Structure formats: C-alpha cells, structure tokens
Structure 1
Amino acid sequence: MRSATKAVLTVLALALAAPTAAQAEPASGNRHDRAVAHGVFAPYHETAEAITYAPELVPPGARMGVFANDLPGERTTVLAALEGLRPNRTYGAHVHTRPCGPEGSDAGPHFQQVPAPEGVSGDPAYANPRNEVWLDFRTDASGNAVTGAVGDWTPHRGEASSVVIHEHRTRTAPGVAGEAGARLACLNVPF
C-alpha cells in the first residue's frame, strides 16, 4: 500500500479513536459527527455493502473506505481511500442519495445540498463540487488512491446513502455538468 494511503488510513483510525465534542455531549438536532464505511467490492448479493458493476475496472477484492465528518458552520469533510483498482486510471466519484442495489442506477442521483428543480439536469448552477460531493481520483501505479472534499454540504441519512465510482472524471460544461459516465461500483455509507 502506498505511504499516502497508509497516512490517510492512520489519520482516519486516530479520528475514530479520539472522542469528539458530540460524543462527550450529545449534539442537538439531527446532525451527527461522522460516518464511516468500508468494504471489499464484490458482485451484487443481498447483504453486500460494496458492489462492483464493472469487474474489469473495479475488480472484485478491490477495497474502499469512506470517512465523513461534520465541521463547524454546517460544513462537512468526506475522505476516501481506495485499493486494488486499475492502475494509473482516472475515475469519477460522488455521494448519491440512495443505497447501492443490484444495478448502479439504484443509488439514485447525486446528493445536492440545494436540489435542482425537477427536470433540470446538467446545469452547472446545481451540478458542481460546491453543491454536490465530488470525489474524483486517479489511481497510482498500484491501483490505490486517496481523495477528499470539504464543502458547505450536510449529507445525512435519507438524503445521502452511498458513494458511487464512475467511469471518468466529472464533467463541468453546461448540459453535461455532473456527468461522469457509467456507474462502476457503489459503497453504502451511513451518512
């Protein structure tokens, strides 16, 4: 495993072990401090947490871990570490609204802090990394990657339920903004 991946996983492990203010004193409202998910990609089965829909690009046995943490001021950080994907390849990745299922489309659309009006798609006013959680990444020569994003989003269960890996980097042009190709894999995350 690459040293950068090890470093991020060490930070994630320390963050999980360290008590937070909300652990010491319950938070008010529906906000929570963090979400953690990890899984080994496999073909769909009823209890799968990490599913590959394209084994040639996200091989069975590849792994992903996601850590999301609420920050002061209604901000959230989302970090992901991946291992065992195709080497030297760019992927798109986003937080999606529904859990993973037998088909990539089961994960629903991208989570949006401010949802686009019904029927609006590809509009950069809504499909952008400030309104959606974009985690695009490029793997190293071993097929590993670390990615993350910080934004003014507050994804929570019921509004955000998974991270989907896509075929290519997310596009930003009008009419195609937010598009990243086929859904290759999905990891359930308890936001």
Structure 2
Amino acid sequence: MATPTVKRQVRGMQRNARRVAVAGAVGAATLSALLLPATPASAQPVTIPGIPTFDVPDNIQLPQGIPGLPASIPVQIPPIPGVQVGPAAPAPAPQNSIHQAAVDAAMSRLGDPYVYGAAGPDAFDCSGLVQWSYAQAGISLPRTSYEQLDTGAPVSYDDLQPGDVVSFYGGSHSGIYIGDGNVVHASTAGQPVAIAAVSSMPFAGARRI
C-alpha cells in the first residue's frame, strides 16, 4: 500500500508529463508555421533610371498559425517624382532621318524632265532637284550647286552615306547619294532625272547636311 508521500510524488510526475506534452505540441506547431513557405505575395515592378528593375511585394507575408499576428502587412509605395512604377511605355517606332526623307523625295521624281533653272515639282535642273528634295524633308538649302558644295559638313568619297549632297565637275553639278555607289540627279537637257554611279563623273566633293 502506497504512502501519502508516494502518492503525491506520482501525481506531481503526471502533472509534469502533461506540461511537457503540451509544450512540445505548441513548439512543434510554432516551428512548423515558421518552416512552411508562405504564399507568394503579388508584386509590382519598380523602375529607377540607372538601376535594374526590381519587384516590391504588395503585401509582406508572415508565418501562419502564430496567435496575435496578422496574415500580412500591407506595403504602401508613395509616388516618387521621376520614377516609373509598372511596365514602361513602348518606345515609339523609329522614323526616317531627314537624309532618308530627302533620298525618298528625289527618288520619287525619277523620270521627270530636266529643265534648266527649274526646281520642281515636275521639272528640275541638278541643284533644283537637290534643293526640292531636302525641302520635302524640312531643310532649306541654297539654290545653286556651287552654294550647295559649301553647305553642311565635308564628307570624303569613302565615307559617303545616303542623303549626302555630292558635287561633280568642279562644283557645277550636284546630286544626292542614295547608297551602293550611286547618286540620283537631274543630269542635263534631254535626260530625265535618273540614277548614275558616282564614279561615272569627276568627283568634286560631298557635303552632309
């Protein structure tokens, strides 16, 4: 027969066992909540000039199952002047340069007649074609071929690019370089506006407008 002292010791051991079991269950639940991955939060991209784009979550997720803690903490991002939030607007489509616009204008007059002193829109002399073509691109050029040889920046024969104004015969004749070694020009009486090789005439210089 157990003495009262032994009974008290047994009851104390039983209470301690129950406390250990409860504490173990609470600890396991807390550890499980900390280790389980939180549900991914939605995010919005933030773009700052000179810094790669990064994502900022709309909500910061917290471990689930901890009494007294909310599921998430909202994050408010105030507008910042000069900083774009969200996808960037698409860049505008590239447009033809003034040089290509001048080339296109001159090419549109292929076959038009040569008339001395004419500057378009239906007949041209050499400098008149150059002047009219650049006017369609919004650029005003001098009227004569000699003046056109003194306009813009000088360009070497080997550095010609479409749109360059090319002069021949000491500056008395001009045309517009179109690439591949060719110019479009109004050559002489009886000949329409046409394409010719740069090498087919004595080169006097070239200018980039």
TM-score if structure 1 supplies the norm length? 0.22
Which has more helix, going by share of residues?
Answer: 2
Q: Which has the higher contact order (CA 8 A, sep 6+)?
A: 1
Structure ranking higher in strand proportion: 1
TM superposition score normalised by structure 2: 0.21
